[in-house]
Amino acid sequence: MTTFTPAPGAAGTGRMLAAQTRMEFKLLLRNGEQVGLTLVIPLLLEFFFNLPMLYSLDGRRIDFMVPSILALAVMSASFTGLAIGTGFERKYAVLKRLGATALPRQVLLLGKTCAVLILQVFQAALICGFGLVLGWHPAGNPIWAGLLLIAGTLAFGGLGLLLAGTVRAEVTLAAANLIWLVLLFGGGIAIPLSRYPAAAADLLRFLPSAALSDGLHQVLQHGGGFPVRDLLTLLVWAGLALPAAARWFRWE
């Protein structure tokens, strides 16, 4: 005779994270318009900024643009997209019921970040593939570039979730887009840091967008070695932003 003994309780953190990541990724895919824009817009920008009409660049333009677009794609999806989407989930009480479950804040936030990271695997493949079509000549170790993309996703994801979890959705919408513009033009993505005065460039290098962009350029454009400084900068941002988001994130 079989005896069934109930064992109620929350699942382990690993199982909860895996389940939450799967659910968040499915929710991303259901929003077909947003996914389409996320995947297509970087390709359009890659083509547009490759045209020699904005400013002169040293060397081949496409070799500069592919690392820049990779950095831009990470920042757009992990920071702006994640912040705005999560902010309006709070506004419309989508997350309110999750707050009454055993799901910890940190698992919710990591699940959202990991779902974006999975989407960015496809995004990076499309950007690099289109870059090869346009004549891109990659250099350096792709593993180092992959580590930078992962660290950048964690850093920008933490910043986006910190913003989304602490202010109203309308404020998140405005602030996320404004910060995105500042990081785009001040972080070495659209304009090389070498175009700025030396003192300003030294300060801007500590921005997460500058660390990600500079690291990708050093590896993929110049064939540099392990990007210690840039990777550490991104890990510091991630180490500060993710715990802060988990600490101050509000369900509603």
Domain presence at residue 53: no
Alpha-carbon 28 to chain mean position: 14
Domain presence at residue 209: yes
pTM: 0.88
Please give the structure tokens belonging to residue 104.
């910890």
Domain presence at residue 185: yes
Please give the structure tokens belonging to residue 49.
């900024």
Domain presence at residue 129: yes
The vertex-124 CA angle with 211 and 69, nearest 5°, equals: 50
Domain presence at residue 10: no
Domain presence at residue 4: no
Domain presence at residue 52: no
pLDDT score recorded for residue 6: 64
pLDDT band at 61 (very low <50, low <70, confident <90, very high): confident
55-64, 209-218, 226-235, range with the lowest pLDDT: 55-64
The vertex-168 CA angle with 166 and 171, nearest 5°, equals: 105
Domain ranges, residue 212 = 15-47+59-248
- Number of structural domains, the chain? 1
Exposure string for 166-178, b = 16+ CB within 10 A, e = fewer: bbebeebbebbee
Quick one: average pLDDT of 74-85? Answer: 90
Distances (CA, A) of 78 to 132, 194, 201, 227, 242: 25, 26, 24, 21, 12
49-53, 100-104, 186-190, range with the lowest pLDDT: 49-53
Domain presence at residue 199: yes
